[in-house]
Amino acid sequence: MAINKLSTTKIARLISDSKFFGKVQRVNDGNKLYICAEANGNAHWEFRYRKPFNGKDTYMRIGSYPFVGIADARKEIQHYHQALHNGIDPWLVKSGVIESIEYAGNVTFSDYCKHYFSENPKRWAKNTIKDKTGIVENHLAKIIGSSPLKSLTLNVIWDALNTIESGNVRNKALVLICTILNYASVKGGLVDSIETDKLKEYFRKPKSKNYPAMKPEEVGELINGFVHSNTSILVFLLFLWQLHLLLRPGEAASSEHENINLAERKLVIANLKNDSEHCIPLTESAIRIFTFVTKYFPDEKYLFPGNSKAGCIGAGTVGHAIRNNLNLKGKMTAHGTRSIGSTKLHEDLVPSHVVEACLSHIDSNSVRAAYYRDNFYGPRVKVMEEWSDFIDLQLKTVVSNSNEDSHLIEVITAIIS
């Protein structure tokens, strides 16, 4: 095949024709290098090749023309041909995973994990990447982090997983290793085929356990426990905010003023579970809590200011108070407030899909979810008000039965009056 067919004149004519006819055109310069002229008048270089591990045709962009000139493009693809000659996918060179062809066999597990997280092919949320990065740094790096990908075997991975005591973390680590190695295999050149699925037979996913939670009829007892403890006012208000709105602990602690719309009576949160926004109806009681907090604990950004790195109160604060101040370890957790709400709403015969929406869960019925994109906001307004009324009734009962002075009784009285 003839090579170096293109010139600046030919490329200029090609770009002009593509723009005039409104269509994309590609011309081969030879040696697997193509110029692609787009309908909008732009142009870029492409290197077209077959993946070394499966023989499938593919291509990658290697720069825009004229920022990358003809001579530079021809020079750049020489590295990619060298990679192909060594059985390495040129993409690994282009993306910077390997610094040189000679370095390819020494790419370590930790190095490739960093690249994988920055590439983020699964489009994980930031919190998910943070969690998985922690698994690598805290549990895997010390065992296999410095090991070249090509040297990893089932035995090596087995030994690394066996050093992790927590069954839940061990399972997450196994899934992460499988995901990363499969990706490295698909991209080609850095890892030999490892049948990691075999390990799943021996490291089974632990059975999920429900968060310990009290019953709806014990909410008064729970509130009374706070009243007779040394829990601070701000932490107690956070507990009530979380309870009224059925928020996850992290969502409640990080509530921001800019996400609270009093005019429309709603709180907008970034759903940590499914990486989307979720609107929560603000009940009368929740608005009274908001008013009280902003009056006595003013902060420009967060409703519940604290000493965490973000500037808000810690997500584990309510859970710590329940365990240590109320001595309810094993009986109740911060996340258990959602379980109480779910149980109560189901007992009141609220439709399951509305209950799940109140908890900001993804609707298992994908067709219904497609039609009700507001996640049943209208029905939730009434349901959440009834739930808040139930909580207020428990608060009033605690106040009426209290025979001693308490700083939290004064707070409750101010909120429900």
| pLDDT tens string 52-91 | 766 788 888 988 999 999 999 999 888 888 888 777 778 7
Question: Domain boundary at 73, 101, 129, which?
Answer: 101
Q: Are 96 and 114 found together in one domain? A: no
pLDDT at 309: 75
Q: Are 143 and 291 found together in one domain? A: no
Q: pLDDT under 50 in the chain at which residues?
A: 1-2, 100-103, 363, 366-373
| pLDDT, tens digit, 9 for 90 and up, residues 149-204 | 777 888 888 888 888 888 888 889 999 988 888 888 776 656 666 777 777 777 77
Q: Are 199 and 337 found together in one domain? A: no
Q: Is residue 71 domain-resident?
A: yes
> Cis omega before residue 379 (within 30°)?
no
Q: Are 335 and 306 found together in one domain? A: yes
pLDDT at 146: 83
Q: Are 115 and 96 found together in one domain? A: no
Q: In what order do the strands lie in the sheet containing 57-65? A: 25-30, 33-37, 43-50, 57-65
Q: Is residue 131 domain-resident?
A: yes
Q: Is residue 208 domain-resident?
A: no
Q: Is residue 354 domain-resident?
A: yes
CA pair distance 312, 299, nearest whole angstrom:
9
pLDDT at 339: 95
Q: Is residue 394 domain-resident?
A: yes
pLDDT at 67: 92
Task: List, in order, residues 6 or more apart from 290 with CB less than 8 Å away.
Answer: 241, 260, 262, 282, 303
Question: Domain boundary at 151, 180, 203, which?
Answer: 203
Q: How many domains does the chain have?
A: 3
Q: Is residue 2 domain-resident?
A: no
pLDDT at 54: 65
pLDDT at 208: 65
Q: Which CATH number belongs to the domain containing residue 153 in this structure?
A: 1.10.150
Query: CB 52: neighbour CB atoms within 10 A?
Result: 16
Rounded alpha-carbon distances, angstroms, from residue 349 to 247, 338, 346: 21, 17, 5
pLDDT at 373: 46
pLDDT at 69: 92
Q: Are 406 and 259 found together in one domain? A: yes
What pTM was computed for the model? 0.63
Q: Are 393 and 412 found together in one domain? A: yes
Q: Which CATH number belongs to the domain containing residue 51 in this structure?
A: 3.30.160.390
CA pair distance 377, 312, nearest whole angstrom:
28
Q: Are 84 and 125 found together in one domain? A: no
Q: Is residue 211 domain-resident?
A: no
Q: Are 279 and 408 found together in one domain? A: yes
Q: Are 115 and 77 found together in one domain? A: no
Question: Domain boundary at 77, 101, 125, which?
Answer: 101
**Host domain of residue 161:** 109-203
| pLDDT, tens digit, 9 for 90 and up, residues 82-115 | 888 777 778 777 776 665 444 455 678 888 888 8
Type of residue found at 22? G
Q: Are 37 and 124 found together in one domain? A: no
Q: Is residue 30 domain-resident?
A: yes
Q: Are 286 and 342 found together in one domain? A: yes
Q: Which CATH number belongs to the domain containing residue 297 in this structure?
A: 1.10.443.10
